[in-house]
Amino acid sequence: MPLRPNENPAIGTAGEKLFKNTVGRHTEVLEAIKAHFNIGGNFARAYKTGTDAGKSDVVLAFDDQNLISANVKAFAAGFNQLTRTTISTFCKQFGIADLQATLEAGAIRKAGRTGKFIADTDSDAVLAGFGPIAKKIVHYSLANLENPKLLVLYDRGANKMYLYDLADVLANLDYTTTISTRGTIKIGEYVTVQRKGGNGVKFNHISKTSLSHPGNNLQVKMKVKTFVQNVDPIFSYTP
């Protein structure tokens, strides 16, 4: 059955469990995975990894010692968070300390509704900084050091799992960097970098224009619904 709407972490966990619990029931799915990754053994089991495994949410084990890890993401509206962090941590991670003040000013401006995230006057500098690291940002957000072999996208509304070779996805994405008219940093057709926003009443005690407010973190997001519509998977199935 499709998942019921819930808080984002619960939705993500439920999607991971659904993939873990159903993939072994579908011989055609397992055969497609085995053929794609040249696996000779038989499927043994699937298990969840826990938060310590980073981008690897579920592992498929085969009796010839092959392990296929998967990054699983459930979606409904189709615009999903890949990762989030503070602006200072992001700039340190990707070596763009010279842009930290620009990004922080943009987050505060957006939070205070006094302008867009990336101002027109900052566009050239931001594009010059983000262009060379665009591929690194997307790889970090989808694969990090764990490098799962599968990207599994679960369409909650259609109740359908889409399985992709993550290395192929990363190799074939467009990493052209642009800035939208609303001041959002865009990487190709599917990925954006933007102020996170939100966090509601839980953080009402922190000013919305303070960098300490989680809404002023940076968020990397992906238009997963559009991606699924445009890119053919290894296999798709109804759990």
Per-residue model confidence as pLDDT tens digits over 21-33: 999 999 999 999 9
- The answer to whether position 32 is within a domain reads yes
Nearest to residue 148, comparing CAs of 169, 163, 166? 166
61/128 same-domain check: no
161/212 same-domain check: no
- The answer to whether position 96 is within a domain reads yes
- The answer to whether position 206 is within a domain reads yes
Nearest to residue 51, comparing CAs of 21, 92, 9, 18? 9
39/109 same-domain check: no
Q: Which residues of 13-28 are buried (b: 16+ CB within 10 A; e: fewer)?
A: bbbbebbbeebeeeee
Name the residue range of residue 124's domain: 81-139+174-222
212/153 same-domain check: no
| 98-108: average pLDDT | 97
Question: What is the predicted pLDDT for the residue at 52?
Answer: 64
Q: Which region among 118-127, 129-138, 194-203, 217-226 has the lowest average model confidence (pLDDT)?
A: 194-203
pLDDT category of residue 77 using cuts at 50, 70 and 90: confident
Instruction: Tell me the C-alpha distance between 164 and 180, whole Å.
Output: 28
- The answer to whether position 3 is within a domain reads no
CB atoms within 10 A of CB 155: 19
Per-residue model confidence as pLDDT tens digits over 109-147: 999 999 999 999 999 999 999 999 999 999 999 999 899
Question: What is the predicted pLDDT for the residue at 231?
Answer: 97
The domain that contains 63 carries what CATH number? Answer: 3.40.1350
Vertex 137 angle, CA 160 and 88, to 5°: 120
Q: Strand pairing of 67-75 and 191-195? A: unpaired
Q: Strand pairing of 185-187 and 160-165? A: unpaired
- The answer to whether position 2 is within a domain reads no
42/119 same-domain check: no
Per-residue model confidence as pLDDT tens digits over 1-19: 343 433 566 877 899 999 9
211/112 same-domain check: yes
Question: What is the predicted pLDDT for the residue at 3?
Answer: 39
Question: What is the predicted pLDDT for the residue at 2?
Answer: 40
Q: Is it the case that residue 223 has pLDDT exceeding 80?
A: yes
Q: What's the DSSP call for residue 97?
A: G
pLDDT category of residue 208 using cuts at 50, 70 and 90: confident
Token digits of residue 232: 């053919």
E strands in 90-159:
150-155
38/53 same-domain check: yes
In which region does residue 32 sit, left (phi positive, over 0), alpha (psi from -120 to 50) or beta (all else)? alpha
* 224 neighbors 158 (Cβ within 8 angstroms): no
| 202-208: average pLDDT | 81
191/214 same-domain check: yes
- The answer to whether position 1 is within a domain reads no
167/178 same-domain check: no
61/36 same-domain check: yes
What radius of gyration, in Å, describes the C-alpha atoms of the chain? 19
51/111 same-domain check: no
Beta bridge partner(s), residue 120: none
Helix (H) or strand (E) holding 60, with range, is: strand 58-62
Instruction: Tell me the C-alpha distance between 174 and 187, whole Å.
Output: 7
Number of structural domains in the chain? 2
Question: What is the predicted pLDDT for the residue at 8?
Answer: 65
15/131 same-domain check: no
- The answer to whether position 24 is within a domain reads yes
Place of tokens 């922190």: 206
| 71-81: average pLDDT | 90
Q: Strand pairing of 191-195 and 185-187? A: antiparallel
